[in-house]
Structure 1
Amino acid sequence: MTTKNTRFKLLAVVLGTIGFSMSAMSADVVVDRKGVVPYVTDSRNVVVMSGAGACVRAGASWSPAAAEQATDANGKPLACSCDPDLIAKEKCEPPKPVAAAAPRPAPKPAEQKVKISTDTLFDFDKATLRPEGKAKLDEVVAQLGKYNVEVILAVGHADRIGREAYNQKLSERRADAVKAYLTSKGVPANRIYTEGKGETMPVTGDKCKNMGPENRNNKKLIDCLQPDRRVEIQVIGTDK
């Protein structure tokens, strides 16, 4: 009795497996007739199935490579339907949609920095613009028309004669005087930033050394230090 039941169970398993295979292969596999077809087909170009639901291989025409190269009517390798164990899974799956690449941001125009040193702006110990200084600033305003101006930085400087703290304040007043003039010529005040460097950044170097006492009575030294009494203007923006 036990042997009979065991046989019955094995038969049920086999039949169940066959039934699954036939169900899985129930959809017709229509062949694209281009090239060698490694499976037997009927008059409809449909692959012939065995009683167990397996594709019938075409004798010498069949090989794993031929099964992968031949395709069905949808362009999928025949091996995907007939011999899925012989082909890489990814070759049988539809390609994943490729995400559209994000558009690249427009390139930012190269920033231009124009540094203008104006050493003819001020007399000794003064923060009032000289006529030559105003003419120089008029040239600066004309140059601004070439740029989309973002920031203008006016940095004031003083010579070394006098107290350091005093010269710091003097350099700041000079930068403010330049800002006021540029604003009067139509340059937006909120684009102009000022800063004072006092006597810390001379441009005369050793040129004016050993020229006698360093006070307001030494005209020769005052004339020599004229380039240090300046405002440097830096324009930051892009070409139009």
Structure 2
Amino acid sequence: MIKQAKKQLLMAAALAALGLSASASFAKDVVVDTKGEVPYVIDSRAVVARSGTDLCWRTGYWTPAAASTTMAGEFPVGCECDKDVVPAEKCVKAAAAPAAGAKSATPLAAPAPVAEKVKLAADALFEFDKAVLLPAGKSKLDDLAAKAKSVKLEVILAVGHTDRIGGDAYNQKLSEKRAAAVKDYLVGKGVEANRVYTEGKGKKQPVTGTSCKNLGKESGKNKKLVDCLQPDRRVEIEVIGTK
């Protein structure tokens, strides 16, 4: 927590030096609950720092889950900073139930219609120990990019993964490179770079389960094992938008 606080203050100071602040000229200060890891840059008042275009500055702790769970008052901080990744129901105050037998003075207004949320998903696969998209992965991304053009795009989440062979630190970096490769490919297809969020999960979330046990030595030279673990070498992509 102490290290995080120092980083937050240093980043806030750097923003101030650039003429940016946590709240100057913006309609609303977003004051964050500082318990745990805060996914946004904050100043000494725990107010989220913003860019000159009113975007909240993210830290390395930022994930869609953190934006949805770190609180700023009664709502998650993402309700102000990243509305495109936080479920709408988390950003609405629940109406108090009337007392038993009581009648409402006025009828409740019908909820305003909302745009239909659309989610498209695909996996891009990779060769062992590489971050270069396989042809099958490119084909899936081509299809996904084409479908994304039919919606009002909010954000694309690309989460990289590896198989279990190798160390944690190495696989973490490899998973991040794979996610970055997907982003670069989608940007090459016309997707705005600032709409694509990438993250690496290393080898923490395999999909092969126990199906590749007892196949011999845990090594990249064990072709039978490498082939079996192919589904784990992937980037999971989710497109979020509205019709």
Q: How does 1:135-174 map to 2 (within 5 A)?
A: 135-174=139-178
TM-score by length of 1: 0.54
Tell me the SS of whatever aligns to 2:239. Answer: strand
2: CA distance between counterparts of 1:186 and 1:103?
A: 41
**CA-CA distance at 1:137 after TM superposition:** 1.0
Q: What RMSD, in angstroms, separates the aligned Cα atoms of the two structures?
A: 2.1
Asked whether 1:107 is paired with 2:113, we answer: yes
**CA-CA distance at 1:142 after TM superposition:** 1.3
The counterpart of 1:205, out of the listed 205, 209, 214, is 209
1: CA distance between counterparts of 2:213 and 2:110?
A: 57
**CA-CA distance at 1:149 after TM superposition:** 1.0
**CA-CA distance at 1:127 after TM superposition:** 0.5
1: CA distance between counterparts of 2:149 and 2:157?
A: 16
Gaps of 5+ in 2: 1-105
Tell me the SS of whatever aligns to 1:201. Answer: coil
1: CA distance between counterparts of 2:147 and 2:119?
A: 12
2: CA distance between counterparts of 1:192 and 1:204?
A: 27
Tell me the SS of whatever aligns to 2:206. Answer: coil
Q: How does 1:119-138 map to 2 (within 5 A)?
A: 121-138=125-142
In the alignment, residue 237 of structure 2 is paired with which amino acid? I
Tell me the SS of whatever aligns to 1:158. Answer: coil
1: CA distance between counterparts of 2:206 and 2:109?
A: 49
2: CA distance between counterparts of 1:225 and 1:182?
A: 25
**CA-CA distance at 1:236 after TM superposition:** 0.9
Structure that is richer in helix per residue:
1
2: CA distance between counterparts of 1:159 and 1:124?
A: 8
* Segments of 4+ moved more than 3 angstroms: 100-106
**CA-CA distance at 1:132 after TM superposition:** 2.2
In the alignment, residue 205 of structure 1 is paired with which amino acid? G
1: CA distance between counterparts of 2:227 and 2:107?
A: 65
**CA-CA distance at 1:195 after TM superposition:** 0.4
Q: Is the 2:155–2:240 contact (alpha carbons within 8 Å) kept by the matching residues of 1?
A: yes
1: CA distance between counterparts of 2:139 and 2:180?
A: 17
2: CA distance between counterparts of 1:109 and 1:136?
A: 26
**CA-CA distance at 1:130 after TM superposition:** 1.9
**2:229 aligned residue:** 225
**CA-CA distance at 1:105 after TM superposition:** 6.8
TM-score by length of 2: 0.54
**1:117 aligned residue:** 123
Q: Aligned residues: percent identity?
A: 62
2: CA distance between counterparts of 1:212 and 1:233?
A: 32
How many residue pairs were aligned? 139
**CA-CA distance at 1:103 after TM superposition:** 8.1
**1:82 aligned residue:** none
2: CA distance between counterparts of 1:203 and 1:146?
A: 30
Structure with the greater alpha carbon radius of gyration: 1
Gaps of 5+ in 1: 1-99
Tell me the SS of whatever aligns to 1:207. Answer: coil
1: CA distance between counterparts of 2:217 and 2:184?
A: 35
2: CA distance between counterparts of 1:216 and 1:226?
A: 12
CA deviation map 1:11-34 (0-9, x unaligned): xxxxxxxxxxxxxxxxxxxxxxxx
2: CA distance between counterparts of 1:230 and 1:101?
A: 51
